[in-house]
Amino acid sequence: MPTRREWIAAAAGLAAAIPARSASAAPPVAIARCPDYGSALFPTLSRMMDQLGGLGALVRNKTVSVKLNLTGSPRERMGTTPAERAQYTHPAVIGSMVRLLSEAGARRVRLLECAFSCGEPLEEFLYDAGWDPLALLNAGARVEMENTNVTGRGRRYHRLMAPTPGYLYDGFDLNHAYDECDVMVSISKLKEHATCGITLGMKNMFGITPVTIYGDHAGKDEPAAEALSGRGAIFHSGRRQPSASAPQEKASSGPKDDKWRVPRIVVDICAARPLHLNVIDGIATMAGGEGPWNRGVRPVEPGLLIAGFGMVETDAAGTALMGFDPMAKRGQAPFENCDSTLELAEARGLGTRDLARMDIRGGRVEDLRFRFRA
Amino acid sequence: MADAVANWVPFEWPETWSDPALLGLLEHTSINCLLLPASRLHLRTAAESAGFVCPDAVRWQSWSELDWPNAGELAAIGDGFWPEISRKGGDSEDAGPTGAAWLDANGWLIEMARARAPQATIWLRSDPPEDPRTMLWTHYQLAVAEAWAYSARRPLWLAPPHAEALAAGDSAARHSWGALMQALTWMRERDPWRAALPFARLAIASDFTGPNQYISTETLLLAARLGIAFVAMERASVTPERLREQRALLWCDPYPVPAALRPWVEQGGVLIANAGAAKQWPRGKIADDIHPRFRIYSAGRGRLIESRVEFDDPWVLAKDAHLLMSRRHDAVRLFNAGSLQWRHARLPGRHLVHLLNYTLRPPAHPVSVQMALPVRSALLHLPAEAPRPLELRRELGGVEASLPPFAVYAVVEFEEES
């Protein structure tokens, strides 16, 4: 089976030997009810992977990189709700997926995140959240962790260029683990987002960009030695360019408005580093925003899991399960004040957001829907 | 009358108070010691008749100049900080939850003082804030509670506008004064807590003086700001017996680490030594040679971690020491505690987590205290209130208690599992 990245390359005519998907053959998406992170979780995820056709063909003897969603400080909570039941991917989902990937024959699994405002080992970041990283490292045969804000085990940052021109960026300099892998997986959280309306698998990839290059304290010419701060100055507001050593933002007549910019940058990132597998944890999460720092957020328990090989399709299914129309445009929920990442990704050729063209397995959206704005 | 210095609860008599009748404001309060300004020494007789201790001029000194080994029964630090959120720190970028306000806090200083003069009573004062007109009465509660939480004392001081309003009988001032006195009474009722010793897995050792002063004291200050629990130790006093509760020892000074500490390391301790400080120690296998600032050697079941160059950046050093020990050993984690400082202290069978809120207003989200040690119950203590049980729930990192909103100071008392 061609990988997603190969498919995009093929579509751009850059890998003629690899057949492109036809527009009508949208990759399937599996959806399921899962009430909690207990004993039902692993069999549910396992069944979903089977519904997708199995993981073996995708990961056997491959290096698999897994981007987690650990946004914000591990010490910050929405009220008394632990991060894993609100803004962070739950470790039980991560561990279950590591086990499934490993059992499907993955040679190596790397768990990755640009940990909030720091360059410390990811394991230590997890301890700070009260998690036990050893449980994740022992969930599969050869599991590693890396904080991708810094070069980590690589000696340098790696450049990933999209096969087609981007909206604002044609490529990015990233930690080696996003390049030195055969399969790219996102395990994100089902959430709304203050800037992008929703944050699922694709928006999760915004967090693969190292703050040493794309953060507010990024070096001017070269990546900063220390990883600090968020990505406000460069990505959100466009007040400055990333470190000069990295691909620069292209000239644009677009507004310096993060609700216009960030959806486009997300799509640019996903084009440069496409996902092969998109898993979304919607069992216990939050509504009203992506983190405790948003006003009016609240804990919710949709009891949902979503997974698929197509990043746009999977996010579209997740959007529908949240009670939104994935075909919505700017001005319509959940994109009242921002552009739709789904629409931009579809226009970029990354997949379809049209549920009518999608093959959704495991249940019907209308039966499982959990309205985030009930 | 309080006969021992340790029991004195001092008050800085305001310059503007000339009427002995104002002693009546202190009746039936915990204050038993008056620091009279030179212009008000004529009040001494009346004060002493009323049962107050009026010590001769207290010798306030800079902490860096104090003769710590000969401090006597009272070590009076005159150049602490006025506890507050400073306007000089923090990250100004507004994208996402980055940056943290800088706190002018004194806990690190008291911990160092305690390490250097363990038998002395520690008093602390500071210059008043730049503009006392902006002060709230709750500032005084924070100032007094901060010192008390670390088993020291700060003489109660009133800004002139508050002192004058109180003397004039202003009803709001009297009400606020009453609340402050209640808080002092509440502290007196918990006097045994002052015997609690700091509990932390990381020890930071130095002689804290001369050429070693900057790196060691700044490391204490910044570790406290980073929320890293530590025990400060006078270098000469460090023994394996004193390190029973510790997983790591940061040896700040470029001074040989005693060979007597080797058994502690070989039994699982982590020694983080300044460059050259452990050069006499036999080297085991290199466990990690990719750390940019340290070489890490195996030493029995423990680690000898040697700095490649002399320590020079206390912010980096504090973070490095914590990570080299590993956060897995942290006994306490706090959530939503951005502008709080905290101190973990232990009494037989009990753990006290003191929480000081420098914002003087309740946090937007409730603070949760996670305890990784085996405990079976928790009590919440708020000044001037009766203690009440806190519900404990089990989370991934340990048992947790969430606190109701509090503006200044709270203590969670955990009872150990027997």
The pLDDT tens digits for A234-246 are 999 999 999 999 9
Inspect the interface and report whether the beta carbons of B327 and A124 lie closer than 8 Å: yes
Rounded to whole angstroms, the Cα distance separating A274 from A3 reads 9
Inspect the interface and report whether the beta carbons of A75 and B333 lie closer than 8 Å: yes
- Residue A137 within a domain: yes
Inspect the interface and report whether the beta carbons of B95 and A233 lie closer than 8 Å: yes
**CB of A81 less than 8 A from some CB of B:** no
Inspect the interface and report whether the beta carbons of B328 and A127 lie closer than 8 Å: yes
**CB of B94 less than 8 A from some CB of A:** yes
Rounded to 10 degrees, what is the CA torsion of A134, A139, A144, A146?
-70
Q: What is the mean pLDDT of residues B15-42?
A: 95
pLDDT tens readout for residues B176-220: 999 999 999 999 999 999 999 999 999 999 999 999 999 999 999
Q: Tokens 């017996």 appear where?
A: B241
ipTM: 0.91
Inspect the interface and report whether the beta carbons of B365 and A78 lie closer than 8 Å: yes
How close B154 gets to chain A, by Cα (Å)? 31
- Residue A113 within a domain: yes
Rounded to whole angstroms, the Cα distance separating B167 from B16 reads 9
Q: How many residues can be counted in chain B?
A: 418
Q: Calculate the average pLDDT of chain A.
A: 93
Residue A88 DSSP symbol? B
Inspect the interface and report whether the beta carbons of A75 and B91 lie closer than 8 Å: no
Other CB atoms within 10 A of residue B195 CB: 10
What pLDDT was estimated at residue B364? 84
Q: Calculate the average pLDDT of chain B.
A: 93
Inspect the interface and report whether the beta carbons of A130 and B91 lie closer than 8 Å: no
Rounded to whole angstroms, the Cα distance separating B359 from B389 reads 25
- Residue A3 within a domain: no
Poorest-pLDDT segment among A65-79, B93-107, B347-361, B373-387: B93-107
Poorest-pLDDT segment among A278-287, A322-331, B361-370: B361-370
How close A324 gets to chain B, by Cα (Å)? 25
How close B37 gets to chain A, by Cα (Å)? 46
Rounded to whole angstroms, what are the CA distances from B49 to B1, B6, B46? Answer: 10, 21, 5
**Regarding beta strands A158-161 and A304-308, do their DSSP bridges make them parallel or antiparallel, or are they unpaired?**
unpaired
For residue B94, pLDDT over 80 is answered with: no
Among chain B residues, CA nearest to A226: B316
Count of structural domains, chain A: 1
Inspect the interface and report whether the beta carbons of A229 and B93 lie closer than 8 Å: yes
Rounded to whole angstroms, the Cα distance separating B215 from B253 reads 8
Band (B124; pLDDT cuts 50, 70, 90): very high
Other CB atoms within 10 A of residue B211 CB: 9
Inspect the interface and report whether the beta carbons of A232 and B96 lie closer than 8 Å: yes
Query: Which SS3 state, helix, strand or coil, does residue B34 take?
Result: strand
- CA B185 vs. chain centroid, Å, equals 20
Rounded to whole angstroms, the Cα distance separating B155 from B143 reads 9
**CB of B415 less than 8 A from some CB of A:** no
Given 3-state DSSP classes, what are the helix, strand and coil percentages for chain A, each rounded to the nearest 5?
Answer: 30, 20, 50
Rounded to whole angstroms, the Cα distance separating A14 from A6 reads 9
List, as ranges, residues 131-160 from A with C-beta within 8 Å of B: 131-132
Inspect the interface and report whether the beta carbons of A130 and B395 lie closer than 8 Å: yes
What pLDDT was estimated at residue B86? 77
**CB of A232 less than 8 A from some CB of B:** yes
Q: What is the mean pLDDT of residues B354-358?
A: 97
**Regarding beta strands B409-416 and B398-402, do their DSSP bridges make them parallel or antiparallel, or are they unpaired?**
unpaired
Nearest C-alpha neighbor of B311 from the set B412, B410, B213, B413 = B213
How close B91 gets to chain A, by Cα (Å)? 8
Rounded to whole angstroms, the Cα distance separating B390 from B377 reads 8
pLDDT tens readout for residues B238-290: 999 999 999 999 999 999 999 999 999 999 999 999 999 999 998 888 987 78
pLDDT tens readout for residues B100-113: 678 899 999 999 99
Q: Report the first-to-last Cα separation within chain B, whole angstroms.
A: 39
Contact, A296 vs A288, CB < 8 A?
Answer: yes
Band (A23; pLDDT cuts 50, 70, 90): very low
Question: Among A72, A231, A237, whose Cβ lies nearest the Cβ of B97?
Answer: A72
Handedness of CA A296, A301, A303, A307 (dihedral sign): positive
The two tokens of residue B110 are 């008291």
Inspect the interface and report whether the beta carbons of B365 and A292 lie closer than 8 Å: yes
Rounded to whole angstroms, the Cα distance separating B408 from B356 reads 6
B336 Rama class: left (phi>0) / alpha (psi -120 to 50) / beta: left
Among chain B residues, CA nearest to A134: B328
**CB of B96 less than 8 A from some CB of A:** yes
- Residues in B closer than 8 angstroms to A73, CB to CB, are 97
- Residue A19 within a domain: no
Rounded to whole angstroms, the Cα distance separating A199 from A209 reads 16
Nearest C-alpha neighbor of A298 from the set A365, A374, A368, A206 = A374
Nearest C-alpha neighbor of A8 from the set A166, A159, A158 = A166
What pLDDT was estimated at residue A64? 98
Among chain B residues, CA nearest to A75: B335
List, as ranges, residues 286-345 from A with C-beta within 8 Å of B: 291-293
Which of B396, B399, B403 is the best substitution to test chain A (most A C-beta atoms within 10 A)? B396
What pLDDT was estimated at residue A73? 95
Nearest C-alpha neighbor of A298 from the set A19, A80, A69, A110 = A80
Rounded to whole angstroms, the Cα distance separating A72 from A286 reads 14
For residue A361, pLDDT over 60 is answered with: yes
What pLDDT was estimated at residue A15? 33
**CB of B99 less than 8 A from some CB of A:** yes
For residue A143, pLDDT over 60 is answered with: yes
Rounded to whole angstroms, the Cα distance separating B332 from A130 reads 10
> Residue A123 — φ and ψ, nearest 5°?
-60, -45
**Regarding beta strands B121-126 and B74-80, do their DSSP bridges make them parallel or antiparallel, or are they unpaired?**
parallel
- Residue A12 within a domain: no
Rounded to whole angstroms, the Cα distance separating B329 from B391 reads 24
Rounded to whole angstroms, the Cα distance separating A228 from A213 reads 10
**CB of B327 less than 8 A from some CB of A:** yes
Amino acid present at B87: R
**CB of A84 less than 8 A from some CB of B:** yes
For residue A24, pLDDT over 70 is answered with: no
How close B94 gets to chain A, by Cα (Å)? 7
Rounded to whole angstroms, the Cα distance separating B51 from B3 reads 11
For residue B230, pLDDT over 60 is answered with: yes
- Extended strands (E) in A115-267: 143-147, 158-161, 171-174, 183-189, 191-193, 197-199
Inspect the interface and report whether the beta carbons of A230 and B96 lie closer than 8 Å: yes
pLDDT tens readout for residues A305-314: 999 999 999 9
Residue B60 DSSP symbol? -
Q: Over the range B50-77, which residues count as b (16 or more CB within 10 Å of their CB) and which as e?
A: eebbbeeebebeebeebebeebeebbbb
Question: Among A82, A124, A236, whose Cβ lies nearest the Cβ of B323?
Answer: A124
Residue A240 DSSP symbol? S
What pLDDT was estimated at residue A4? 42
Inspect the interface and report whether the beta carbons of B96 and A72 lie closer than 8 Å: yes
- Residue A323 within a domain: yes
DSSP bridge partners of B395:
B398
H or E element in which residue A109 lies: strand A108-113
Inspect the interface and report whether the beta carbons of B330 and A73 lie closer than 8 Å: no
Question: Among A84, A91, A291, whose Cβ lies nearest the Cβ of B97?
Answer: A291
How close A242 gets to chain B, by Cα (Å)? 16
What pLDDT was estimated at residue A12? 39
Q: Tokens 């008291």 appear where?
A: B110
CB pairs under 8 A between A and B: 90
Q: Residue A288, exposed/middle/buried by CB under 10 A (0-12, 13-18, 19+)?
A: middle
**CB of B119 less than 8 A from some CB of A:** no
Cα–Cα–Cα angle for A58, A59, A62, nearest 5°? 130
Inspect the interface and report whether the beta carbons of B323 and A121 lie closer than 8 Å: yes
Q: What is the mean pLDDT of residues B115-124?
A: 97
Inspect the interface and report whether the beta carbons of B95 and A231 lie closer than 8 Å: yes
What pLDDT was estimated at residue B398? 95
Rounded to whole angstroms, the Cα distance separating A308 from A323 reads 19
**CB of A38 less than 8 A from some CB of B:** no
Range of the domain at A361: 29-368
- Residues in A closer than 8 angstroms to B334, CB to CB, are 75
Rounded to whole angstroms, the Cα distance separating B303 from B305 reads 6
B53 Rama class: left (phi>0) / alpha (psi -120 to 50) / beta: beta
- Residue A374 within a domain: no
- Residues in B closer than 8 angstroms to A120, CB to CB, are 319, 323
Q: What is the mean pLDDT of residues A40-65?
A: 98
What pLDDT was estimated at residue A6? 45
Which of B91, B92, B93, B324 is the best substitution to test chain A (most A C-beta atoms within 10 A)? B93
Question: Among B98, B227, B398, whose Cβ lies nearest the Cβ of A130?
Answer: B398
- Residue A186 within a domain: yes
For residue A169, pLDDT over 60 is answered with: yes
Cα–Cα–Cα angle for B64, B68, B73, nearest 5°? 130
**CB of B288 less than 8 A from some CB of A:** no
- Residues in A closer than 8 angstroms to B99, CB to CB, are 229
What pLDDT was estimated at residue A25? 81
**CB of A79 less than 8 A from some CB of B:** yes
Nearest C-alpha neighbor of B345 from the set B114, B123, B69 = B114
Poorest-pLDDT segment among A226-235, A299-308, A323-332: A226-235
Among chain A residues, CA nearest to B90: A229
What pLDDT was estimated at residue B100? 62
Nearest C-alpha neighbor of B96 from the set A228, A263, A230 = A230
Rounded to whole angstroms, the Cα distance separating B139 from B157 reads 10
B124 vs A20, more confident: B124
**CB of B341 less than 8 A from some CB of A:** no
What pLDDT was estimated at residue A38? 97
Q: What is the mean pLDDT of residues B129-145?
A: 90
Q: DSSP characters for B309-345?
A: S----HHHHHHHHHHHH-GGG-SEEEES-TTEEEEEE
- Residues in A closer than 8 angstroms to B335, CB to CB, are 75-77
Rounded to whole angstroms, the Cα distance separating B10 from B75 reads 14
For residue B317, pLDDT over 80 is answered with: yes
Inspect the interface and report whether the beta carbons of B333 and A128 lie closer than 8 Å: yes
What pLDDT was estimated at residue B87? 60
H or E element in which residue B216 lies: helix B213-225
